[in-house]
């Protein structure tokens, strides 16, 4: 419980510092194009890694289970431009159904 509070507060404080720093420092210090393009890629690589880890990892073990089926459904729905909430609920539903039927 304690460590969760640390995570909640520390990540909130750092997030705010990052936001307000942008309004405090003069633009010229950070306008380097390389820094900008790295920053543009950061959310892409991290979200991609998070998708993979959340789908396949169980601690340090790689497993192929109901989550993969959920992810495939999410992928298909996104291809057809389904809204966020539909994608999330469908993924949950499909993997829950799979577990209910086969576990």
Partner 1 sequence: MKIPSHASRSIVTRNAVSVGLATGLYGISFGALAVTSGFNFFQTQILSLGLFSGASQFAVVGIIGAGGGSIAAIATSSLLGLRNGFYALSLANLLKLKGYKKVLGAQITIDESTAMAVANNNDEDLGRWAFWATGISVFVFWNIATAIGAFGAQFVTDPKSLGLDAAVAAAFLALLWPRLSNLKIRTVALIAGVLAFSLTPFVQPGIPVLASVLIAIIFGLREKK
Q: Check binding of 89 to partner 1 (CB under 8 A).
A: yes
Q: Check binding of 76 to partner 1 (CB under 8 A).
A: no
Q: Check binding of 101 to partner 1 (CB under 8 A).
A: no
Q: How far is the CB of 12 from partner 1 (least distance, A)?
A: 3
DSSP-assigned letters across all residues of 57-89 = EETTEE--SHHHHHHHHHHHHHHTT--HHHHHH
Q: Check binding of 51 to partner 1 (CB under 8 A).
A: yes
Q: How far is the CB of 103 from partner 1 (least distance, A)?
A: 9
| Pair 43, 37: CB distance under 8 Å | no
């Amino acid at each position: 419980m304690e460590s969760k509070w640390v995570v909640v507060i520390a990540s909130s404080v750092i997030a705010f510092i990052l936001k307000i720093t942008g309004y405090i420092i003069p633009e010229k210090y950070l306008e380097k194009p390389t820094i900008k393009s790295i920053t543009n890629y950061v959310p892409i690589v991290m979200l991609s890694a998070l998708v993979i880890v959340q789908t396949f990892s169980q601690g340090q073990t790689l497993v192929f289970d109901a989550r993969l089926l959920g992810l495939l459904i999410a992928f298909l729905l996104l291809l057809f431009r389904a809204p966020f909430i539909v994608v999330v609920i469908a993924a949950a539903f499909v993997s829950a159904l799979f577990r209910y039927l086969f576990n």
